[in-house]
Each structure stands twice: as structure tokens, then as C-alpha cells.
Amino acid sequence: MHSNHSNHDDSTDTTGAAEMTLQRIREQPRPALVWVGVATVLFALEFGAVASLVAELWQALGVGRRPSWLVERANAIPTLTSRDLITNAGYFDGDRWVGTFAGLEPRTAWLLRVGLVYAYAVAVVGWCWVGYRRYRRHYRPAEWTPLDDVVDRLRRHRWGQFGMVVVFLFLVLAVFAPTLGTTTVDQNINNPFGHQIEYYDAETGSIESITVGTANRQTQSRGIPDRNVGPFTYDQYGRYHPFGTLPSGKDLFTFLAAGARVSLVISLLAVGLASVIAVSFALLSAYYKGLIDLVFVIGSDSVMSLPQLLLLMLLSVLFSDTWIGQLYSGGILLALIYGATSWPFLWRALRGPALQVGDEEWIDAARSYGQRPITTMRRHMFPYVTGYLLVYGSMSLGGAIIAIAGLSFLGLGISPPTPEWGRAVDAGQQYVASHSWHISLIPGLLITLVVTGFNALGDGIRDAIDPQTESGSTDSQGAAVGGGA
């Protein structure tokens, strides 16, 4: 009976806040209507890109009978930032560029498309920020919440803002990878001999046709000055390469853009699984304490005693021939293994805050009222550890990207020809001291920058949540998470 009374109070508070918000919207609908109208326009402009990303996730999880067909249909939906709208594919006929958008030079057309993509992404972020500000100003029942102080402190945190910018650039690169690439993944990586391009032959003065695979063989970067296509250059077929080409002649930027999406999907799945396990175990430890907590301590110590990278290598090879090892070119298997082996680092970071809130008086009051344990943990304990989960989860994302790249560098994990950043570093390691230095250096710098960005974002969120934390210090929990990642 007491449990029903407690649940009734919580539901009454939630319902009252929702009714007050709806009442304020009815009294002043214009800000909300304008915001929803802008959202509709933004979504309609990029519906094809959203459908493509959802279809690819569907395919990665192996759901449905014809996921490949869904991906093809989703990619066919026109969008504002479609590569077909501002195409950079063309050739120079000796007088002008043919086939490119408005006859522009391929480099200019590609930069224009990249600028349009990032302008759209900035508009989406601005739309989210305006929505938060309008809700806070016009519709929120409370005049102040702790989130207000967190947001205000984060706006003044330069290191955290640097991390936000880097993470934003990386997320846009991953989400819009099919559009940002100078060519398509199918044409550049998966099936180069199944596509043809036209180019101008200066010797004959005629337009010739050649398969992409054959052209790639003539544009390989192998450390020889005469056989090298470096960054920001064209090859002899009029194709622009912002980051140069690989030893196979494939465009490096397209490879890295597609690899960013692969890394993001796998990292999110891995850290998501680890977070679910860590949060569940932390709340159970804090609520029941005693033997339950001891079991989790022993279990986490046992998992942490194993070398994670070696375990990833062993299990990825062991299960590579199974059905789960074939999903998303082995990416789903990597995500499961990483999530199952990295939860102790997150659990240790969350266990302290969870134990702290577990000793509060309102938790004892919930017990005395007969509230179910799962309800107490969900309503009264989980919100308290959410901020810590954001901090250490963002740091773990960077660690997951490094782990995936490391396995790909060793020839494990993601199955070729699926692009992955670590494979690009491996492909160019023998050319580091040659004219083809770009093959390893550029993806290596990107990996370092992205991981640093996620760590900086985590530091910013941590300092915004707890202003007493010194930005330049790394506590033991943070070190544990970073080391495990």
C-alpha cells in the first residue's frame, strides 16, 4: 500500500509538470510552432541521409530479410547535401571542366559540398540550442534547475569546447560519409572494376573510358616520386584527392570518411553495452551492498586482470568464422567483446557515486514505504550517476576507437575491404620516410585528434558537473577508465 502511495506521488509530480508545460505552450504557441516548423524543414532536407544511416545500422545488426536492398533504396533518396546535387566527378577537356557542378574545378565543387554539409550540421546544432533556450525561457515549469549551472559552466570551459568541436567534426564526418567522400565507397573500395570513369587523353585529343580499378593501379602511392599522388593533388584522370591515395590507388579521404562511420557505429555499440552492464551492476552494488557488492568487486578484478587487447585478439580470431563474426564485417563481434571486457572500468567509476547516493535518507525512506528496488534504483539512484556516465562514457568512446584501430592495424577485427583507420596506418607504415608519408601520418593524426577530443569533452562535462574538480588533474577513476579503454 505504501508503494502505491509513493508511485502515485511520483506520477502526480510528473503529470503536473507535463500539464503545466502543455498549458504554457497553449498560452504562448508561437515559439514552439516556429521551432517545430524549422525541425520539419531540416528533417525533410536530409531524410535520405537519416534513412541511409538507419538502414546501415539495420544491416549491421542483421535485422530483416533484405537489409542490403534497404540500404540501396535509402541511398537513392535525394537530399540537400547529396553528392549528385553538387558533383565533383568530371574531366578537363583541355578547355574547361566537363561533368562537374556548374563546370567548377573538382576541388572547388567538393569543397562547396563539404561546406554545405557542415553548414547544415551547424544549423541542426543551432536548432537544438535554440529549442533548449526557448523551453527554458517560455515553457519550463521550474525557474531554475541544476542543468542550468552545468550548461553555463560548460560554455566557459575552453578545453571542453575544444572537445565539443572535434567530436562535432568527427560525428558529421561519420554521419555524412557517403556525401563527404570525393567518390563513393562502392566505386572506390568495394567494386572498383565494376565502375568506369571518363577522362581526356591529351595525346589523342579524345575522351576515353577506363575502369576505376585500372585507373587506381596507375595512381598508386608507393613512395616513388613518379608513382605518388599526395594530398591536395589531382591524378592523371582528373580525380581530386584531398588526402592523396593509398598504395592500392584508392582515395584516402573517402577511405577515412567511410572508416569514421565504421568506427563510430562499433564504438557506440561497444560503449553502450559496457554502460548498460556497468550502470546495472553499480546500482545493484549500491542498493544491496554486502555480498552482492563483493561479487561484483571480485568479478571486475578478475576481468581487469586479463590483458584486454590480447583478449580482444584471441576472441575475435576464435569467433571470426561464426555467424556473429560475419555481421558488419566483424564489427558487431568486436563491439560485444569490447563491451563485455571493458565494463569493469566504467563500473569502478560509477560505483562510488552510486554508493554515495545509496546511503542517502530518501533511499531508506523509499525502502520503508515498500517501494520496489528496481523502481528506487531507476527513479532515485540512476539520475544521480547519469552525469558520471556521460563523463566516463565519452572517454571510453575514444578508447574504443583506439582499440578498433589497433586491431585493424594488426590485421584483425574488421574484415577487408571494409575501411577502418587502423588499416590505413598499417598500409602506409613502410612508406613513412618516403614521398608517400601521408598514408600513415594523416589517419594517425586523425585518431589522435579524435581521441583527444573525446577526452577533452569528458573533462569539460566533469568540470561542469563538479566545479570543484581541477581541470588539469586526472583522478583515479578517470585513469582507470582511460587505461581500460
Same domain, 233 and 266: no
356 & 474 share domain: yes
Residue 240, classed as helix, strand or coil, is strand
Q: Is residue 404 included in any domain, yes or no?
A: yes
In a domain, 5, yes or no: no
Select the highest-mean-pLDDT range: 284-288, 302-306, 441-445.
441-445
Is residue 318 domain-shared with residue 407, that is, in the same domain?
yes
Give 132-167 pLDDT, tens digit per residue.
Answer: 998 888 888 878 887 888 888 888 989 999 999 999
Asked whether the predicted pLDDT for residue 93 surpasses 60, the reply is: yes
Whether residues 237 and 260 share a domain: the answer is no
Residue 14: its pLDDT value, please? 56
Residues 411-438 have a mean pLDDT of 88
206 or 48, which is more confident: 206
User: Based on the domain organization, do 176 and 219 belong to the same domain?
Assistant: no
DSSP code string of 38-107: HHHHHHHHTHHHHHHHHHHHHHHHT-SS-HHHHHHHHHTS--TT-TTTS----EE-SSSEESSGGG--HH
171 and 313 share one domain: no
Is 4 inside any structural domain? no
Mean pLDDT score, 297-302 = 90
Residue 59 vs residue 207, higher pLDDT: 207
C-alpha pair distances (Å), 346 with each of 142, 232, 266, 385, 395 = 32, 42, 18, 11, 10
**Is the pLDDT at 8 greater than 70, yes or no?**
no
pLDDT: which is higher, 53 or 330 = 330
Statement: residue 307 has pLDDT above 80: yes
pLDDT at residue 373 tops 60: yes
CA dihedral 403, 57, 458, 286 (to 10 degrees): -90
pLDDT in tens, 428-456: 989 998 999 999 999 999 999 999 999 99
The candidate with the shortest Cα–Cα distance to 166, out of 401, 431, 463, is 401
* 3 domain-assigned: no
Three-class SS state of 332: helix
Q: Please give the Cα distance from 196 to 193 (Å, whole number).
A: 7
> C-alpha 398: how far from its chain's center?
10
Residue 309 sits in the same domain as residue 200:
no
Letter for the amino acid at 441?
L
Confidence of residue 253 (pLDDT cuts 50, 70, 90): very high
What single letter denotes the amino acid at residue 38?
A: V
- Look at the chain and report how many structural domains it folds into: 3
pLDDT of res. 330:
81
pLDDT at 146: 79
Tell me phi and psi for residue 98, to 5 degrees: -120, 135
Which bin fits 338, alpha (ψ -120 to 50), beta or left (φ > 0)? alpha
The DSSP result for 106-132, as a single string, is HHHHHHHHHHHHHHHHHHHHHHHHHHH
Regarding whether 317 and 450 lie in a shared domain, the answer is yes
Taking 90 as the threshold, does the pLDDT of residue 119 lie above it?
A: yes
| pLDDT at residue 474 greater than cutoff 70 | no
Average pLDDT over residues 31-39: 90
Q: Cβ distance 381 to 286 under 8 Å?
A: yes
Average pLDDT score over residue span 93-113:
91
8 A C-beta contact, residue 281 and residue 296? yes
Q: Domain of 465: which CATH number?
A: 1.10.3720.10
Boundaries of domain holding 367: 253-484
How does the average pLDDT of the chain come out, rounded?
Answer: 84
Average pLDDT score over residue span 265-290? 91
Alpha-carbon gap, residue 399 to 447, rounded angstroms: 10
Count the neighbouring beta carbons within 10 Å of the beta carbon of residue 332.
20
Same domain, 246 and 359: no
Query: Could you give the CA distance from residue 58 to residue 397 in angstroms, rounded to a whole number?
Result: 21
- Same-domain pairing of 259 and 238: no
- Residue 477: per-residue pLDDT: 41
Specify the pTM: 0.84
Residue 429 near residue 440, CB atoms below 8 Å: yes
Per-residue pLDDT at 318? 85
Is there a single domain that holds both residue 243 and residue 264? no
With respect to residue 188, please indicate whether it lies within any of the assigned structural domains.
no
How much is the pLDDT for 117?
92
